[in-house]
């Protein structure tokens, strides 16, 4: 690999680190951050100055020993006490301020990434990107440019082809992490941010210390080493400061060899973090789905999956250990040889009487400092490899946010009094069109049932109406719905903790009185949970499927929205409970001058709706996989208010 390529890689890595580091030092905490950094730099400079004083102390102290000068000996012991005390103070505060800066930096970066990850549905859209096809050149993965006119054909793979409108899709989806498809965002925020701040500060300060130490001690070593004279081919050569040149040559060769021995660690460290996160993530899934796995007697399968993932962790770790072992073979020998090398070179001058014992120890100490400084790359190669892997992972995380920003979605208006989608085109993450130029309309007082085959995109249509689905285009019109609306998903989410928090989520529980909370539970047919608002539990695991659906409906009855979108909201309930709750939901939206739109497969639910939207499969070659057909139905049951 040529020098130019190496230089370009170094510049690229430096640019990545700079891009990740600079925002904190330009943030609202910039003065505290810069102040701490300057203090740490000053302490590092102070530590180097103290080492210079200690190097000079070595010369005087050991000369006193050689000369048997007791007065100087005891004086230097007293001086050593002051020097050692100064070094201790510097070491303590350098550690404390460094840890403080790492903590503050990590806290800021964590808050920064959490805000971006949880903002604009990025956490949800990143999960969608895992199943997206790569876009064409210059596009973010998962960015589907939906057409606003013309016909769009679907190929056998279901991706969208190019037509007169310029609609383009990309290649097949891949399973490996990419810029728009990061693996384990939680691990990147929790672990990679911590490692990045720790490694960046320790390596930067270590490099600064090495450079300052080199500049300081190279002059001392130059003055102490004298000239090296030798004759070659009848010509006499005289090299001034030869020990400086020897140290530079020694460390240059060592650094080159270290890089070629240790460079496999960069990729191995990157993979290790990913494989560890995958193993941990699957254990979390086993815990979350413990009941289903136990009912299916899937323990053996899950054990096999965990064993497979852990074997990958161990396999990569073993390869990393072997790579580190190979590097340690060299670095350990390199370090041991450096201990005696200056003594061997300076020994002739000592035995000839040209220098005393104190000066010999000073030469050895100065050479050691110069050699340590020049060997910074050798000594920190494993850490540099881990740091680069962490930097690459955070950089790809940053790229994923930029990729999401390139995904253009149809704007959603929430200031409407009706649900209106006059020209709706809906696609899957793969690029396959579900609907093309569909028209949907619902007004206050309507009760609409959305039906269609499994997998036809009913829930996806709800996501588009909610404004969280990125693969949607409003065409010539804008998708609009009322702001006072609530969605009941197929799998409702309940935070762990007190029941009152799970019921009021995501609003603060202080918005509601205990009487309101308890009444909502009773109205949702959960009287056994009333008056247990302060009980804490993992409600998503403790409650049965039917109880979770009733608790989700209790939220709606508590918050009283005008519009309700229910996705299989009563699929786990018996017919009597379903009838009671649907009557209460319809009474709720009627009192709020709103409407209810439901997704359901059970025929009994149709009785509570006056209109049906049916997703009908289209033949091959059609613009989209489905079209929406609206029809009127006559409810078989009354839709008036239900008595508790």
CA gap 283, 292 in Å, rounded? 14
Q: In what order do the strands lie in the sheet with 447-451?
A: 485-488, 563-567, 595-599, 447-451, 611-617, 626-632
Q: Is the pLDDT of residue 296 over 90?
A: no
DSSP H/E element including 372: helix 357-374
pLDDT at 39: 95
Q: Is the pLDDT of residue 242 over 60?
A: yes
- Are the CB atoms for 291 and 538 separated by under 8 Å? no
pLDDT in tens, 8-43: 877 888 888 899 999 999 999 999 999 999 999 999
CA gap 297, 292 in Å, rounded? 8
pLDDT greater at residue 332 or residue 174: 332
Length in residues, the chain: 644
Q: Name the burial class of residue 569, with classes exposed (0-12), middle (13-18) and buried (19+) by CB atoms within 10 angstroms of its CB.
A: buried
DSSP string across 585-614: HHHHHHHTT-EEEEE--SHHHHTT-SEEEE
Mean pLDDT of 193-202: 92
User: What pTM value is reported for the model?
Assistant: 0.72
**What does residue 167 show for φ and ψ, rounded to 5 degrees?**
-65, 130
pLDDT at 297: 85
Mean pLDDT of 433-461: 92
Query: 431 — alpha (psi -120 to 50), left (phi > 0) or beta?
Result: left
For residue 275, how many other CB atoms are within 10 A of its CB?
20
Q: Which ranges constitute the DSSP H helices of 289-298?
A: 290-295
- The angle at the Cα of 219, spanning 64 to 38, to the nearest 5 degrees, equals 105
Q: Which domains are assigned to the chain? A: 19-116+184-403 (1.20.1560.10), 412-632 (3.40.50.300)
pLDDT at 423: 86
Per-residue three-class SS string for 519-582: HHHHHCCCHHHCCCCCCEECHHHHCCHHHHHHHHHHHHHHHCCCEEEEECCCCCCCHHHHHHHH
pLDDT in tens, 56-106: 888 888 888 888 888 988 998 899 998 999 999 999 999 999 999 999 999
Q: Is the pLDDT of residue 113 over 70?
A: yes
CA gap 182, 189 in Å, rounded? 12
Half-sphere exposure of 236 (CA within 13 A, CB side): 4
- The angle at the Cα of 219, spanning 214 to 223, to the nearest 5 degrees, equals 140
DSSP string across 441-501: EE-TT-EEEEE--TTSSHHHHHHHHHT--SSEE-TTS-EEEESSEEEE-SS----SEEHHH
CA gap 129, 376 in Å, rounded? 41
pLDDT in tens, 360-404: 787 888 888 887 888 888 788 888 888 988 898 899 888 888 888
Q: At 312, list the tokens.
A: 């990958």
pLDDT at 313: 93
CA gap 420, 2 in Å, rounded? 61
The CA R_g of the chain, rounded to the nearest whole Å, is: 35
Q: Is the pLDDT of residue 112 over 60?
A: yes
Mean pLDDT of 120-139: 64
Look at residues 564, 347, 604 and name the one whose alpha carbon lies nearest to residue 448: 564
Q: Is the pLDDT of residue 285 over 90?
A: no
pLDDT greater at residue 128 or residue 30: 30
């Amino acid at each position: 690999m040529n020098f130019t390529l190496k230089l370009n890689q170094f510049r690229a890595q430096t640019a990545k680190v700079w891009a990740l580091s600079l925002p904190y030092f330009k943030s609202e905490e910039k003065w505290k951050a810069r102040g701490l950094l300057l203090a740490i730099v000053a302490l590092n400079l102070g530590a180097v100055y103290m080492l210079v004083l200690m190097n000079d102390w070595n010369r005087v102290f050991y000369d006193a020993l050689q000369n048997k000068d007791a007065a100087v000996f005891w004086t230097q012991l007293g001086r050593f006490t002051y020097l050692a005390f100064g070094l201790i103070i510097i070491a303590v505060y350098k550690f404390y301020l460094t840890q403080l800066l790492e903590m503050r930096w990590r806290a800021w970066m964590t808050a920064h990434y959490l805000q971006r990850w949880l903002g604009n549905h990025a956490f949800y859209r990143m999960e969608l990107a895992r199943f997206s096809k790569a876009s064409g050149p210059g596009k973010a993965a998962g960015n589907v440019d939906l057409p606003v006119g013309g016909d769009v054909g679907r190929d056998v793979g279901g991706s969208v082809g190019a037509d007169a409108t310029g609609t383009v899709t990309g290649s097949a989806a891949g399973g490996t992490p990419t810029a728009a498809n990061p693996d384990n965002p939680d691990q990147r925020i929790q672990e990679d941010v911590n490692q990045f701040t720790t490694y960046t500060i320790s390596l930067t300060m270590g490099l600064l210390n090495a450079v300052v130490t080199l500049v300081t001690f190279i002059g001392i070593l130059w003055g102490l080493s004298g000239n090296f004279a030798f004759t070659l081919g009848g010509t006499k050569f005289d090299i001034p400061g030869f020990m400086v040149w020897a140290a530079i040559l020694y460390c240059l060769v060592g650094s080159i060899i270290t890089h070629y021995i240790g460079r496999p660690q960069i990729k191995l460290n990157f993979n290790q973090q990913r494989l560890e996160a995958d193993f941990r993530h699957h254990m979390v899934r086993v815990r979350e789905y413990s009941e289903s796995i136990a009912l299916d007697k899937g323990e053996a399968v899950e054990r096999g999956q965990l064993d497979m993932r852990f074997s990958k962790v161990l396999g990569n770790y073993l390869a990393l250990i072997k790579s580190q072992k190979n590097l340690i073979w060299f670095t350990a020998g390199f370090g041991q040889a450096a201990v005696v090398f200056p003594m061997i070179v300076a020994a002739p001058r000592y035995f000839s009487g040209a220098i005393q014992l104190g000066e010999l120890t000073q030469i050895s100490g100065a050479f050691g400092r110069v050699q340590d400084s020049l060997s910074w790359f050798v000594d920190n190669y494993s850490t540099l490899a881990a740091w680069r892997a962490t930097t690459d992972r955070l950089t790809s995380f940053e790229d994923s946010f930029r990729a999401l920003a390139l995904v253009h979605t149809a704007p959603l208006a929430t200031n409407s009094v009706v649900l209106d989608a006059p020209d709706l085109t809906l696609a899957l993450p793969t690029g396959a069109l579900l609907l093309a130029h569909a028209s949907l309309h619902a007004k206050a007082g309507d009760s609409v049932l959305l039906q269609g085959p499994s997998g036809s995109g009913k829930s996806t249509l709800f996501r588009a109406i909610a404004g969280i689905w990125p693969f949607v285009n409003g065409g010539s019109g804008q998708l609009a719905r009322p702001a006072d609306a609530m969605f009941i998903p197929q799998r409702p989410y309940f935070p762990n903790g007190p029941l009152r928090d799970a019921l009021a989520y995501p609003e603060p529980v202080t918005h509601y009185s205990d009487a309101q909370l308890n009444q909502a539970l009773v109205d949702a047919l959960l009287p056994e949970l009333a008056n247990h608002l302060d009980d804490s539990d993992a409600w998503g695991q403790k409650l049965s499927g039917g109880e979770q659906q009733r608790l989700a409906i209790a939220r709606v009855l508590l918050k009283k929205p005008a519009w309700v979108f229910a996705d299989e909201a009563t699929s786990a309930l018996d017919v009597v409970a379903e009838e009671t709750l649907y009557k209460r939901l319809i009474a709720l939206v009627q009192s709020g001058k709103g409407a209810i739109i439901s997704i359901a497969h059970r025929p009994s639910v149709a009785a509570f709706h006056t209109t049906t939207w049916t997703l009908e499969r289209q033949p091959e070659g059609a613009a989209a996989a489905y079209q929406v057909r609206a029809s009127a139905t006559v409810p078989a049951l009354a839709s008036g208010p239900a008595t508790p």
